[in-house]
Amino acid sequence: MTRSNIGFIGLGLMGQGMAANILKKGWPLFVMAHRNRAPVEALVAEGAKEAKSPREMAEHCDIIVLCVTGSPEVLSVMGGPDGIASAGRPVTIIDCSTSDPSVTTKLAADVAESGLTLIDAPLSRTPADAAAGTLDVMVGGAENDVQRIWPVLECFAGRIIHTGPTGSGHTMKLLNNFVSMGYAALYSEALMLGRKAGLTPEVFDSVIRGGRMDCPFYQTFFRWVLERDPNAHKFAIRNAFKDMSYLAGYANAAGIANPIGAAVRNSFAQAVGAGRGEDYVPMLSDFIAKSNGLE
């Protein structure tokens, strides 16, 4: 079977492992550098080819996977004289970023006029899962388009859920992150309240772990709290704040009251405002503790 060339833009914490798995599964791969050349050089050493711009990548690839920060970055690589759209080819774009659903649906309609297909396929789980090929993927797009790119998703996914039309994947991702970042804010505040009452994190954990409130997210969060493992959950606080801001925008546009979402967003907004945006999400517990006079 002849396999299409696959392009990959966004070789960050998640993207490097995803791209490596596409290459390992036998797909011809084109990659592009941004600030850090190390992932590109590692993939080229394994057989990938390097493109110098999104346009050059689109000239060689039928499918391009994006794993960038959010909607502004997606728009940047799509448009302009060196963007994907400027190549004038019928490329399928798989946006694995956590993007604003309203931007995604408008962009999909706009690029369709040029023969491009945009599918949203945001991710859940961690960089370790990206490297292992066991990510959860939420896919928004027409049935025939989703089935066509399904084998590419299988390279890095352990579970794939077709959520509905274009934009529904990004909407579901915001809801997923609302729940997970809500947990992070709850854990952080509960730990602080416990410490004020003389309860140690170890006591807190001995009650929660193994009980009904335990879950994999709790376990990675507490690998930082108890073991100080900086790699427990490599997702930046600034990105959590960005995602909760997208959720707030969605709620406002829909005229929906989202008071818990506002509270979760504010927990991360305070940390970002205090210069802690590059910290990882479990480190929010340290910020909440310090803000209340605790080490």
Give DSSP secondary structure letters for the chain. -----EEEE--STTHHHHHHHHHHTT--EEEE-SS--HHHHHHHHTT-EE-SSHHHHHHH-SEEEE--SSHHHHHHHHSSTTSGGGG-S--EEEE-S---HHHHHHHHHHHHTTT-EEEE--EES-HHHHHHT-EEEEEES-HHHHHHHHHHHTTTEEEEEEEESTTHHHHHHHHHHHHHHHHHHHHHHHHHHHHHTT--HHHHHHHHTTSTT--HHHHHHHHHHHH--TTS---BHHHHHHHHHHHHHHHHHHT---HHHHHHHHHHHHHHHTT-TTSBGGGHHHHHHHHTT--
266's tokens = 């504010």
Is 49 a catalytic site residue? Answer: no
CA angle, residues 150, 151, 155, in degrees to nearest 5: 110
Catalytic residue from among 25, 49, 52, 173 = 173
67's tokens = 């794993």
81's tokens = 């004289």
Whether the CA torsion 11, 159, 254, 188 is positive or negative: it is: negative
152's tokens = 């590419």
Q: Tell me which residues are annotated as active site.
A: 173
